[in-house]
């Protein structure tokens, strides 16, 4: 198993996109029920290998299609340790020093985003669950148990997980307002204010404002200072979705773009994106973890004071899960092993690569580039061509190059995105992609 993983990891950077055409007989895999007496590991590994080889290639340096990419080997090792030892981490009394390791990483992250020293949170599976946790806490904090009149404000480019979370958290669908964006794909703050005022006039209860620090489509970052001011003026909970963009905070340029995030009441970020962690690694950070405890603790408010005297949190009281994965270790090991500077340099490199791709593509006569990237997503399309031709362009490129790009719709128009966020993507990969894009743009 270990040598299989070592071989995979050695070959990962150059793995081809798209994956070799999948010849697996799905029906035979489906029919493979566990046998009574078990099978040899070699056979099982072979079945896995075939199935995995037919999947979308996530680990390659040419994965320029989707945000979660990479998957650090050292994170897998941390995970292996955590899984094999299988400690309980739902209540601090079960494993105090292990909780301290996890809490140490949470506090480091809270400090990275400029939250006060009370800042902490919870590791969860990803931003979808982190957002649900945040909005449930926001609703309970601002509206208590009477939430029917509560409204929240998102933007056109807000990830759909926020609507999904709102719906599960009991915020009426018709009370989720979509604020238009300006030409730069950021939330129009004055329109947001008009909507809040009009809701107040109608007797509704504006409750939360959601900013985005790095949209999935274009990497655009909202004006977080302006949104924080607006939220403060109307006493709204200020939530920032930094799923994709958050860890650029480790770089000087990212920190400038994300200025204002320190005013957030809650922040979601995805280590399975910006810290190159394996899928299933998200984080919720909050200014005041007491609000999480009030929302999620099932022991009742009368125990909150007693809990305050404990030096470490019971994570079961910070969110939905009781028995939970010890996710902290898969970050603790790589961050301590490689050092935070290694991560900062990797992310800085991604910003450079996006600038390189942007400038190179902007110089190609047959291509329109959307705008200079805020972070590491570059959106472009064939100049003067229909959406249909652009879709063909995307297909043709993905069939030609050792990489994968993806498509999206911006303002009703089809664009192609190059998203650079794998620790295995370096200059060679991006330069080759630019070369192939340029070549294909001349012949579709």
Ligand X SMILES: *Cc1c(COP(=O)(O)O)cnc(C)c1O
Instruction: Name the site residues for ligand X (rule: CB under 6 A).
Output: 67, 126-128, 159, 161, 212, 214-216, 241, 243-244, 270, 282
Instruction: Report in angstroms how near the CB of residue 324 gets to ligand X at its nearest.
Output: 16
Choose among 284, 252, 336: nearest CA to 131: 284
Specify the residue, 67 or 361, whose C-beta has the smaller distance to ligand X. Answer: 67
99/404 with CB nearer ligand X: 404
Q: Which residue has the tokens 């009030």?
A: 294
| Shortest Cβ 213–ligand X spacing (Å) | 8
Nearer to ligand X, 69 or 92 (CB): 69
Least distance from ligand X to the Cβ atom of residue 165, Å: 10
To ligand X, the closest distance from the beta carbon of 444 in angstroms equals 29
Q: Which is nearer to ligand X, 140 or 244 (CB)?
A: 244
Q: Nearest approach, Cβ of 405 to ligand X (angstroms)?
A: 16
User: Tokens 């730069």 correspond to what residue?
Assistant: 184
Minimal CB distance residue for ligand X: 126
**Burial 314-341, CB ≥16 within 10 A → b, else e:** bbbbbbebeebbbbbbbbbbbbeeeeee
Task: Work out how close the CB of 241 gets to ligand X at its nearest, in angstroms, rounded to a whole number.
Answer: 5
Nearest distance in Å: CB 117, ligand X: 27
Identity of the residue, 254 or 401, whose beta carbon is nearer to ligand X in the bound complex: 254
| Shortest distance in whole angstroms from residue 196 CB to ligand X | 23
**Closer residue to ligand X in complex, CB, 217/349:** 217
CB closer to ligand X, 161 vs 250: 161
Q: Which is nearer to ligand X, 274 or 401 (CB)?
A: 274
């Amino acid at each position: 198993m270990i040598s299989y993983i070592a071989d995979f990891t050695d070959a990962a950077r150059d793995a081809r996109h798209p994956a070799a055409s999948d010849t697996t007989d799905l029906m035979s895999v489906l029919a493979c029920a566990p046998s009574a007496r078990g099978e040899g590991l070699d056979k099982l590994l072979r079945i896995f290998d075939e199935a995995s080889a037919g999947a979308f290639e996530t680990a390659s340096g040419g994965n320029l299609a989707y945000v979660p990419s990479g998957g650090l080997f050292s994170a897998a090792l941390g995970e292996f340790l955590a899984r094999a030892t299988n400690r309980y981490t739902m209540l601090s009394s079960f494993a105090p020093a292990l909780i301290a390791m996890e809490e140490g990483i949470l506090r480091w992250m809270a400090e990275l985003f400029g939250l006060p020293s009370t800042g902490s949170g919870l590791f969860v599976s990803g931003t979808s669950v982190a957002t649900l946790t945040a909005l449930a806490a926001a609703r309970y904090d601002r509206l208590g148990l009477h939430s029917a009149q509560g409204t929240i404000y998102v933007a056109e480019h807000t990830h759909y997980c926020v609507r999904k979370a709102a719906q599960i958290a009991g915020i009426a669908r018709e009370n989720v307002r979509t604020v238009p964006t300006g030409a730069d794909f950021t939330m129009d703050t004055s329109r947001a204010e008009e909507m809040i005022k009009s809701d107040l006039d109608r007797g509704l209860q504006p409750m939360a404002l959601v900013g985005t620090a790095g949209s999935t489509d274009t990497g655009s970052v909202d004006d977080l200072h302006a949104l924080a001011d607006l939220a403060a003026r109307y006493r709204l909970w200020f939530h920032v979705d930094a799923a994709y963009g958050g860890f650029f905070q480790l770089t000087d340029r990212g920190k400038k773009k994300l200025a204002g995030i320190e005013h957030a009441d809650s922040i979601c970020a995805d280590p399975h994106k910006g810290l190159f962690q394996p899928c299933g690694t998200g984080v919720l950070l909050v200014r005041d973890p007491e609000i999480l405890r009030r929302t999620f603790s099932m022991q009742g408010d009368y125990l909150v004071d007693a809990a305050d005297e404990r030096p470490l949190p019971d994570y079961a009281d910070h969110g939905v899960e009781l028995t939970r994965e010890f996710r902290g270790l898969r970050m603790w090991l790589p961050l301590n092993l490689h050092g935070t500077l290694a991560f900062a340099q990797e992310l800085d490199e991604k910003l450079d690569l996006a600038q390189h791709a942007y400038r190179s593509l902007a110089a190609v006569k047959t291509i329109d580039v959307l705008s200079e990237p805020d972070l590491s997503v570059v959106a472009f399309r064939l100049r003067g061509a229909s959406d249909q031709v652009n879709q063909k362009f995307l297909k043709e490129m993905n069939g030609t190059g050792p990489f994968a790009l993806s498509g999206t719709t911006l303002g009703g128009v089809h664009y192609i995105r190059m998203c650079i966020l794998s620790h295995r993507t370096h200059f060679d990969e991006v330069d080759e992609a630019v070369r192939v894009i340029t070549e294909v743009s001349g012949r579709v």
